Structure 1
Amino acid sequence: MERMGMVIGIKAEKIDEYKALHAAVWPAVLAKLSAANVRNYTIFLREPENLLFGYWEYHGTDYEADMRSIAVDPETQRWWTFCGPCQAPLASRADGEHWAMMRPVFHMD
């Protein structure tokens, strides 16, 4: 299992919309995440900085293939058309990233 953290900005005027979307995530999107070996997915909001911090645990053996399976899923792509306009990707993110990935520096069980 690999713990993964990521961060992205959120537009202040879109926070309520983003919360509403995530209060009722589409079942097909959740199923795709589960099928791609994503577990314990949590998104935190930090205001007033308007940052989203995402955390999940990856339980698979081929991360790249699992992430591709999410990215090509039509229902997930449709979900992103609603979530994407709410988000403000960080200028410091790596090429090809939407959410900026983070490296762990500490963990306590």
Structure 2
Amino acid sequence: MQRMGMVIGLQPEKVAEYKALHAAVWPEILSLISECNITNYSIFLKEPENLLFGYWEYVGSDFEADMARMAASSKNQEWWSVCMPCQKPLETRRQGEWWAMMEEVFHHG
């Protein structure tokens, strides 16, 4: 199992919309997340800075393949098309990232 944390900004005028979207995530998206070996997925919002912190645990054996499967899903592409305009990627993210991945520096289990 691999724990993963990530961060992204949220457009101030989109906070209510983003909360509403995630209060009723489409069932197909929830199924896809599970099928791609992601568990314990949470997103936290820090206001007034409007930073989103995402956490999940990856329990599969081929992360790249699972992420490719997720990206290839037409329903997920539709979901991203409504979520991504709400988000504001960090300028300091690595090339190719939308959400900036974070290094785990402590865990107590």
Say whether 1:48 aligns with 2:48: yes
Deviation at 1:21, TM superposition (A): 0.1
The structural deviation recorded for 1:100 is: 0.3
Is residue 2:87 matched to residue 1:102? no
2:59 corresponds in structure 1 to 59
Aligned to 1:83: 83
Q: Which runs of 4+ in 1 moved over 4 A?
A: none
Percentage identity across paired residues of the two chains:
61
Q: What's the secondary structure of 2:44's corresponding residue?
A: strand
* TM-score of the aligned structures, taking structure 1 as reference length: 0.99
Unpaired stretches in structure 1, ≥5 consecutive residues: none
Taking structure 2 as the reference length, the TM-score comes to 0.99
Q: CA RMSD in A?
A: 0.4
Q: Distance in 1 between matches of 2:37 and 2:8?
A: 22
Counterpart Cα distance in 1 of 2:66 and 2:33: 9
What 5-or-longer segments of structure 2 have no aligned partner? none
SS in structure 1 of the partner of residue 8 of structure 2: strand
Give the alignment of 1:15-34 within 5 angstroms. Answer: 15-34=15-34
Q: How many residues align?
A: 109
Could you tell me how far 1:79 is from its partner in structure 2? 0.3
- The offset of 1:60, in angstroms, is 0.3
Please tell me the residue identity of whatever aligns with 1:31.
S
Cα distance in 2 for residues equivalent to 1:62 and 1:5: 18
